[in-house]
Chain A
Amino acid sequence: MPEVTLKNVSKAFANGRIVAVDKVDLHVMDREYFSLIGPSGCGKTTTLRMIAGLVEPDEGEVYIGERLVTDLPPEDRDIGYVFQQYALFPNMDVWDNVTYGPTVKAWEKKKREKIGREMLQMVRLYDRADAMPQELSGGMMQRVALSRALAAGAELLLLDEPLGALDAKIRNELRYEIRKLVKDLRLTAVHVTHDQAEAMAISDRIAVMRKGRILQVGTPYDLYMNPKQIFIANFIGESNFLEGKVNQIEDDRAQINLRGDLEVESSNLKVVKKGERAVLAVRPEAFEIAEKKQKLVNALAGVIERIRFEGTDIRYEIRLTNDDSIVVVRPSLGGKWFEETDKVTVGFSPEKSHLFKYPKKGLTAELELE
C-alpha cells in the first residue's frame, strides 16, 4: 500500500543554474488523492518525474511505500503514469495500448485479457478496443491512457496535468471520473496541475509549490480558509489586497488603518506587530454590498465602476473612497443587483479576512506567477 515520501529532494538543470526543485520534503499518505499545484516552472512536474524515476534527483531520497527507490529506473517502480499528451502508442490499437503493461510484464494470456477487458469497461471504452488512437477524441484518449496506466496493477497513480489538453467541459467531467476511479480502486494518486480549481475539486490534500519549494500543504478547506502566505491567498481562489498599517492589536483582532485613513478590523493574525505595514486580503465573495450609508461591519464606501455578468456570479469592480479598487463577486441569483455608477457600501466580517506582513520585495513581486 504505497505512501510516497520525499526527503530533502533537489534538482537543478543547466549545470546548476536553473534550480527546479529546492530541498523538498513531501509525504503523501496511503490511498490519498494528493495534488501538487503551482504556477509554470514551480517544479511540480519535475517533482512528479522524480517520484516516477524519469528524472534523477541531485540530492535527497525518494520512497515509495517502505522502499527506497531513488536509484530505481521507472520500469521497476510499479507505478502508473498519465501524461498530458496522453502518449498512446500510435502504432497500436486501444486494446494493445491498454494491455501493454501486462504484456511487457509477461502476464499470461488469460490474465492479460481479463484485465484488459476490466480496465476498458471501467472507462466505458470496451467497444472501441480495436480503434487506433488517432480515431479517438481527446477525452477518450485520456481515458484509455488512464486505463493503460492502471492495467498492470500499479497502486500508485501519477498524473501530469492529465486534463490540460482537453476542452473545458470535458475537463470538468473527467476530473471527477478520475477521482472516482482512484477511490474505487483504493489507489494513491499524485496529481500535478496548474489549475487550482481542478485540484480543489478533487483532492484530499494539496501542496502549493513556488520556485522549487513547497509553500503550504493542506486540505482544500485549509488552503482556502487559512492561507499562510499572500501568494497562496492569491493563487487559491482570488483575493483583494488592501495595504495599510496596524493601529491596535487586541487578542486575535487587529485594527488596521488603510490608505486614506479608512479603518477596518480583521482577525487571523499572521505575526504582524503594532505599527507595522500590513496587507489585508479579502476574497471577492467575502464582501457584502448594500446601498449607500447602510450599516455593515467594516463598512467602506465606494462607487461601482464596472459590472460583468458571468453566469453564476456578478462581478463588480468598485472604486473605494481612498482610490483603492476592489472586486466583489455576488451570486447572480440571490440578492439585489446594482448598476454602474451606483454609490454603494461594502462590508466584510473580520473572520473572513486575512492579515499579512507587508512583503519585503513589494506586493507585485510577491504575487508574481513566474
Chain B
Amino acid sequence: MRGLNASKIVGLTAVLAVSVSLFIFVLMPTFYLISFTLTRWNEVYTDVFANPLIGDANWQQILRYLSFSLRLSLVAVALDFLFGIPLAYFLAYRQFPGKSLLEDIIMLSLVIPTSGFGVATLLTWTGVSGIGALIGRGVVEASYVVPLINVPLLMLLVHVALTFPYVVRTLQGKLEDMSPVFERASRTLGASALTTFRKIVFPLALPALFSGGVLAFARSLGETGATMVVASIHTTAPMAIVRWVSEFKLATAAFLGFLLIITATVAILLVDLLLQKRSIFRIPHWSLASKVGKRVLKVEKRLSGKPKWLKDIASLGAVFFVVILPIMVVVASVGVYWSTDPDTGRAQGSVIYQLFGPSNYFNTLMRATLTSVFVAVISTYIATCIAVPSVYMIKRYRAGRILRYILRVPLIVPSSALGLSVLLLWGPSGLSLTTPGIWLIILTHIVFSVPVVMEPTIAAYEGSGILSYEGVARTLGATPYDAIETVSLPILKRGILAGIILSFTRSLGETGATFLVMGSDVTVPPLVVNMVESLAIPAALFASAYLIALSLVLLMVFRIVVRK
C-alpha cells in the first residue's frame, strides 16, 4: 500500500491506544448510567414506576427532588446574572490594583473543596462565630427557606458562590475580545453608556452570556459536596442519589442519575454546537412606542451619569459575602474553637479535644490526607498520560471537534451520578473489577481529570501556532516525533503543567463521587461531611480550613506557572 511505513503504523497504533484509553477510562464511566438504564430498562422501570411495594412512589420522589433542584439552580443562575454581569464589566474594562487578586478569588470558587466550603458557609450564617458574632446568635437556621421563591438560603448562597465564575468569566472573555470600536461608534452617534449597553454590547455578548448561564446551571444542578453539608432538612437530586445508594436502591438512583446526565449533556451540546463563537443575535424589529422609547432613553442617560460605582459595589459586596466571608469565618473559627468550646467553656467541644482526644480525628485526618494525596497523584498522572496525546488527536482530526465537546460532559455531570456510574460499571454489581476503595476512587477521579488537564493544554496549543513550528522543524529534517518532542512539547509544557495543577487541586477537593466509591478508604472531603453529620463541628472546622488553605496554596502555584 502506498505510504504504509513504520512511522505511519506507529502513528495509527498511538491513535488507537489513546482512543481506547479515552473510551475505557473517561467516556464509558461517564455515560454508563445511560446504557445501564437502557439495557436494564425492565428492572429500572419496575423499581421506579411499578414497584410492587410502593407503586410509582420512587418516581414521585424523583420528580420532587428534580423539580426542587431545577428551581434552586434557576434561581442561583438568575442571581449569578444579577451580580455577575456588572462584575464582568468591571473586570473587563477597569484596571485597578488588586484586580488579579479579585480574579484569583473568582477562580478559587471553581477549585475550592466543596464540602469544606459548605462548612464555611454553614458556620458563617448559622453559627455564633460567623456573622452571628455580631448579633449574638446565628443569623438564620440551617433550614431557612427564602420566602416567595421557596429556596433554602444556605443552598442558594453556596450554589451562587460555586457557579457565578462561569457567568463572569465567559462574559468577561467576550467583552475583552469584543472590539471597542462598536461602543465608540455608538457614543459618537449620541447614545449614552447604558443605551449603548442595551442596544449594542448586550446583543453581541448574548451568546457568551447564554453559554455562561447554561454552564452555571449545569454545574449547580450537579453540585453535591457543599450541598450535602448545608442541606439540613432539604434534599437535592444529587443528594438523593447518594442516599439511595446507601439504601441500596440502585435502580432508582441510576434512573435519577441517568436523567441528570442527559440534562448535562444536552446543556453542553446546546452551548457548544449551536452557539458558535461568531453567531450574532439579531434584535427583532420591535421599537418601543415613541413616548416610552423617549423616556427610556432619558432614564438611561441620567443613570449613565450617576456614579458607576453603585452597581460595582453591589457586585463586589456579593462576592465578599458569598465567597470571602465564609473562608474568613472558617479560618477564624478554628482559632475561636481551638482549645475550648466558646459556648460551654469546656475543653470537650474544642478543636484540640476532637483532634487529639478520644475520637482522635487527627489520626483519621492524616490517614485521609495520605489517601487524598495518593489518589490525586495517581489519577492526575494517568489522566495526563491520556490527556496529552488526546489533545494531539483532537487537533489533528476533524472528528476531534465532537470529541472535545463530549469530553466536557464529565466536568458538568453531577459528581454523585458520576460516582454511581463508576460504581455500577467497575464495582461488584458490574464488571466487578474492584470493590469500593482506593482504586475505585482513582478510577473515578481519572474520569474528570482527563478533561481538566486537556482544556489548558488545548488552549496552549491553540494559542501557539504549534503546527507551523512543527512544520518548520520538519523542513529542517526532523521526523514528526522529533518535532513533537523537541518543539511542541516544550511549548505545550506550560499548558500541561497548568492542567496538572488544576487536576490535582480538583481531585483533592472532590466530594460527591468519592463518597459513593470510597468504601473504607476515606479521603478528606467526605471525611468533612462525616464529621458534620456526627456533629463533630470543631473537627470539621479544622479539616475544612486545612483543605481550603491547601487549595489556596495550589491556586497560587497555578497562577505562578501560568503567569510566567
Contact = CB atoms under 8 A, between A and B. Distances in A.
Q: Do A and B bind each other?
A: yes
Interface of A: 52, 54, 73-75, 78-81, 83, 85, 87, 89-93, 96, 100-101, 103-106, 108-109, 132, 148-149, 152, 158
A81 B185 CA distance: 7
Given A83-B185, A90-B182, 7 more contacts: A74-B184, A75-B192, A83-B181, A90-B204, A91-B280, A96-B285, A104-B189
B465 interface: no
Nearest to B283: A91
12 contacts: A54-B184, A85-B181, A87-B185, A91-B204, A91-B282, A92-B282, A96-B285, A104-B297, A106-B294, A106-B298, A149-B189, A158-B188
A90 B287 contact: no
B181 A87 contact: yes
Contact of B191 (A75, A85, A90, A91): A75
Nearest to B301: A75
B320 to A, nearest CB: 31
A93 B285 CA distance: 10
Contacts of B126: none
A104 B190 contact: yes
Q: Secondary structure at chain B's binding surface: helix, strand, loop or mixed?
A: helix
Interface string B164-196: 000000000000000101101111111110010
Contacts of B199: 89, 100, 104
Contacts of B192: 75, 104
Contacts of B186: 89, 100, 104
B42 interface: no
Interface in B437-464: none
A103 B287 contact: yes
Given A54-B184, A89-B200, A91-B200, A104 B294 contact: no
B203 interface: yes
A75 B188 contact: yes
A347 to B, nearest CB: 52
B278 to A, nearest CB: 9
Nearest to A87: B185
Interface of B: 179, 181-182, 184-192, 195, 199-200, 203-204, 280-283, 285, 287, 290, 293-294, 297-298
A16 B293 CA distance: 43
B281 A91 contact: yes
Nearest to B200: A89
A75 B181 contact: no
Contacts of A90: 182, 204, 280
Contacts of B298: 106
A177 B496 CA distance: 55
A81 B188 contact: yes
A152 B190 contact: yes
Contacts of A75: 187-192
A83 B182 CA distance: 10
Nearest to A49: B184
Contacts of B195: 104
A103 B195 CA distance: 11
A149 B189 CA distance: 7
Contacts of B281: 91
Nearest to B203: A91
A89 B185 contact: yes
Which of B190, B195, B281: most chain A CB closer than 10 A?
B190
A192 to B, nearest CB: 14
Most buried by B among A87, A92, A109: A87
A307 B31 CA distance: 74
A111 to B, nearest CB: 11
Nearest to B291: A106
A74 B200 contact: no
A272 B190 CA distance: 52
Contacts of A101: 189-190
B109 to A, nearest CB: 31
A272 to B, nearest CB: 47
A52 B297 CA distance: 22
A354 B53 CA distance: 108
